[in-house]
Amino acid sequence: MKQLTKAEEEVMQLLWKLDEANVASIIKEMPDPKPAYNTISTIIRILENKEFVSHRKVGKGYIYFPLVKKEEYSSQSLNKLMNNYFNGSFRNMVSFFVKKNDMDIKDLEEILKELDNDN
Q: How far is CA 84 from the centre of its chain?
A: 18
22 in Cβ contact with 37 (< 8 Å) = no
pLDDT digits (tens, 9 = 90+) for 31-81: 999 999 999 999 999 999 999 999 999 999 999 999 999 999 999 988 888
* Per-residue model confidence (pLDDT) at position 119: 63
116: left (phi over 0), alpha (psi -120 to 50) or beta: alpha
**What is the Cα–Cα distance from 92 to 69, expressed in whole angstroms?**
27
Domain of 56: which CATH number? Answer: 1.10.10.10
Instruction: Give the domain range for residue 110.
Output: 70-118
* Per-residue model confidence (pLDDT) at position 93: 85
Whether 56 is covered by a domain: the verdict is yes
* Per-residue model confidence (pLDDT) at position 24: 97
**What is the Cα–Cα distance from 23 to 16, expressed in whole angstroms?**
14
* Per-residue model confidence (pLDDT) at position 10: 97
First to last CA, the chain: 28
Give yes or no: residues 42 and 80 share one domain. Answer: no
Predicted model pTM: 0.77
Give yes or no: residues 85 and 45 share one domain. Answer: no
Last residue of a domain, one of 22, 40, 66: 66
The conformation of residue 89, written as its DSSP 8-state character, comes to: -
